[in-house]
Amino acid sequence: MIKSISRNLKLSKSPRHNEQILALAMRQIEKMLQEMQNEGKDLSGLKLKKFQKTHHIDCRCGMCAEAKKKNDPRKRGLLEDGFKVYIEGGGTS
């Protein structure tokens, strides 16, 4: 993993507000990729991977209890939602 960005961005119902959030996120991603390129990273093997980080396995909150009851870990409480940037071929830095 080269860099990890995670944000708890909640999209509102306003289309204009959603556009502003997406524009901000795209600017941040572009800046991060430019920094990686300036550091000499070869971005030809670039991969983005979406991830979700959930509550600890021993959590007793309502969402986690429901997930355990239904035997569906995807319904656990969500801590983070984001993506990670990987570059294929080389070691991770």
What are the distances in angstroms from CA 45 to CA 13, 23, 48, 75, 78?
Answer: 36, 24, 10, 33, 30
Burial 76-88 (b: 16+ CB within 10 A, else e): beeeeeebebebe
Over its C-alpha atoms, the chain yields an Rg (Å, rounded) of 17
pLDDT tens digits in sequence order for the chain, 93 residues long: 344 444 444 445 678 888 898 899 889 989 988 998 899 888 888 888 888 888 888 888 998 999 999 998 888 888 887 878 777 765 444
Q: Could you count the other beta carbons within 10 Å of the beta carbon of residue 3?
A: 15
